[in-house]
Amino acid sequence: MSSVGAGSSMQVHAVRFGPGQELLAGLQAFVDQRRLRAPFIITCVGSLTKATLRLANATATNTNEVMHLNGRFEIVSLVGTLNPEAHLHISLSDGEGKTLGGHVLGDLEIFTTAEVVIGEALDLQFVREMDEKTGFPELVVRTRSD
């Protein structure tokens, strides 16, 4: 795999999603509509009623380490890249302040709001290629050529 370690100029986008929307699909649609080629999450605040997360013990051959959440949760962190195969991790806090998190698989149903600030590295392109060592599609950073 080839990767670029170079810096880039950045553009900032902001979007708000409302009750009942699915956050991951909304983010992917936002990225597609604007044709962002190296997008990433800068910050996010909001709340969810559902989430499906893959836990840390999961491997390419053991994908059963999945948690389905239902209830009311505050989004206390959302990080990752939003290339065509988004790679996001989320931390959620429940009604008692207990925090849990993992790799976002989807089903992120918004309770009240999700306010997201997205950065785009204007000089780069993010793609994912299968990594034989990990068994997962991993990030490859390329210099933009357009």
Structure-token match 């997008």, residue found: 39
Q: Is 133 helix (H, G, I), strand (E, B) or coil?
A: coil
Q: Show the CA angle centred on residue 33, arms to residues 122 and 104, nearest 5°.
A: 85
**Domain total in the chain:** 1
131 is a domain residue: yes
61 is a domain residue: yes
Residue 58 has pLDDT above 70, yes or no: no
State residue 25 phi and psi, 5-degree precision: -65, -40
The tens digit of pLDDT for each residue in 15-39 reads 999 999 999 999 999 999 999 999 9
1 is a domain residue: no
What pLDDT is stored for residue 59 in this prediction? Answer: 63
Mean pLDDT of 96-116: 96
| pLDDT bucket at 57, cuts 50 / 70 / 90 | confident
What pLDDT is stored for residue 3 in this prediction? Answer: 59
78 is a domain residue: yes
Which domain CATH number covers 138? 3.30.1330.80
Which structural domain range is residue 106 located in? 10-143
2 is a domain residue: no
76 is a domain residue: yes
What pLDDT is stored for residue 62 in this prediction? Answer: 67
